[in-house]
Amino acid sequence: MKSFFSFLWLVLFATSAAAGDRYANIHTVGIVSVIGDVVTMSSSSLLTGASNDCFLYIDDWRLDDAIVDKIATLLSPRFTTKSVTLSRASLFNLRDSESGIRRYITTLPAENGVDAYIIVSKRYLSASQGINSVPVFGLTVLDRFLFGPGVFALYQVEVVDAKSGKQIGFALGHTGAGFPNFREVIKDVDKSFWSATASEFSAEQKQKLKSVVSEMTLNSLPYALYTADLIPEIPPAAPASSSP
pLDDT over threshold 60, residue 157: yes
Instruction: Output the pLDDT for position 188.
Output: 95
Mean pLDDT of 54-83: 96
Instruction: Output the pLDDT for position 78.
Output: 94
For 60, 115, 169, the CA distances from 160, given in Å and listed in that order, are 28, 9, 7
pLDDT over threshold 50, residue 16: no
Mean pLDDT of 175-186: 81
Write down the mean pLDDT value for the chain.
Answer: 84
Instruction: Output the pLDDT for position 15.
Output: 41
Query: pLDDT digits over 100-137, tens only?
Result: 788 888 899 999 999 999 999 999 886 545 455 567 88
Q: What's the pTM?
A: 0.85
Higher pLDDT, 67 or 176: 67
Write down the domain spans for the chain: 4-227
pLDDT over threshold 60, residue 239: no
Confidence tier at 18 by pLDDT (50, 70, 90): very low
Instruction: Output the pLDDT for position 99.
Output: 75
Mean pLDDT of 39-66: 85
Task: Please check whether residue 91 is in contact with residue 119, taking contact to mean a CB–CB distance below 8 angstroms.
Answer: yes
Mean pLDDT of 35-59: 83
Higher pLDDT, 99 or 13: 99
pLDDT over threshold 70, residue 13: no
Task: Please check whether residue 102 is in contact with residue 160, taking contact to mean a CB–CB distance below 8 angstroms.
Answer: yes
Q: Which helix (H) or strand (E) holds 48?
A: none
Mean pLDDT of 142-169: 91
pLDDT over threshold 80, residue 200: yes
Handedness of CA 173, 175, 178, 180 (dihedral sign): negative
Q: Using CA atoms, how far apart are residues 8 and 18, in angstroms rounded to an integer?
A: 16
Q: Exposed, middle or buried: residue 191 (CB in 10 Å: 0-12, 13-18, 19+)?
A: exposed
pLDDT over threshold 50, residue 71: yes
